[in-house]
Amino acid sequence: MSSNTADLSTLQRGEFLSAGAVALAATAFGGGSSLLPDEKAPGAVRPRQESDVVALTFDVFGTVVDWRTSIIREGRMLSQAKGLEVDWERFADGWRSGYGPAMNQVRTGELPWMKIDDLHRRILDDLLVEFDISGLSEAEIDNLNRVWHRLIPWPDTVLGLGRLKSKFVLSTLSNGNVSLLTNMAKNAGLPWDCVLSAELSGHYKPDAEVYEKAADLLSLPPHRIMMVAAHKGDLRAAQRVGFKAVWVPRPLEYGPSRTIDTTPDPEFDYSATDFIDLAAQL
């Protein structure tokens, strides 16, 4: 092979690789030249349309992770270590039930802006009195409060997110603060592309500002983002801003004794039994 032919071959190979890298990047970030599978011709591709969803944003507590089982498990470990007698099922339910009212106090101005970590600690301090839990050091109480950083995912979560990640940008959109969500992802192996939090808007869901800020930070119009949640109120709030919506009910979020409505809502764009089912549908 002559030197000219070799140079031409090297140039063509470099141009091919460069073009491939550009196409891949465009696909990942929703550029107009990106490609999607063409349903009419298996194996073929089509230009990404302006109506196509580029990013999925996820509610986290209850939708992605099983907060109740996680708190009960760590509480029982603490009981063994400290000789405590606590109804950890009732404790977990009480902790979660204080979540909404605490956020409303911030929303109405009764409390200044506070991270979820700080709101969780306020609720926890009251629960320690209510359940007559004593003998814990400040470090032990702080560690218990940080159980929310260590919540375990539902069995389908990691595999389902991995499959969805091959086509969409994946992000949290949770009331949890950024450090909490980051630590949780590290602990549970959650493959987010980015971590977005209500904290970044200075509001809590379902305030419109939370969803609007997410769209702004993703540099996407709302209709190209789809909210994924187990809570219908969250989805309806996202839809009012222009997001598409996926409902993934978690029947065991509040334990086996509490019945949760799992009736699909025709106003949502998709309903899925879990993240693996959602990945198959999308």
3-state secondary structure 172-188: EEECCCHHHHHHHHHHH
- Residue numbers of the domain that contains 263: 55-65+151-281
What is the structure's pLDDT at 13?
Answer: 40
**CATH number assigned to the domain comprising residue 210:** 3.40.50.1000
Determine the Cα–Cα distance for residues 171 and 60; give it in Å rounded to an integer.
10
Whether residues 268 and 202 fall in one domain: yes
pLDDT band at 33 (very low <50, low <70, confident <90, very high): very low
- Of 95, 119, 150, which closes a domain? 150
pLDDT tens per residue, range 80-96: 999 999 999 999 999 99
Average pLDDT over every residue of 117-146: 97
Q: Return the H-helix or E-strand segment holding 66.
A: strand 65-66
User: What DSSP letter does each residue of 229-245 carry, written as one string?
Assistant: ES-HHHHHHHHHHT-EE
What is the structure's pLDDT at 19?
Answer: 40
Determine the Cα–Cα distance for residues 128 and 124; give it in Å rounded to an integer.
6
Whether residues 97 and 169 fall in one domain: no
Whether residues 161 and 139 fall in one domain: no
pLDDT > 70 fraction of the chain, expressed in percent and rounded: 82
Report yes or no on 111 lying in a domain. yes
Q: Within 10 Å of residue 136's Cβ, how many Cβ atoms?
A: 15
pLDDT tens per residue, range 200-248: 999 999 999 999 999 999 999 999 999 999 999 999 999 999 999 999 9
Report yes or no on 7 lying in a domain. no
**CATH number assigned to the domain comprising residue 91:** 1.10.150.240
pTM for this prediction: 0.83
- Angstrom distances, CA of residue 215 to CA of 35, 200, 201, 209, 241: 22, 12, 11, 10, 10
What is the structure's pLDDT at 45?
Answer: 52
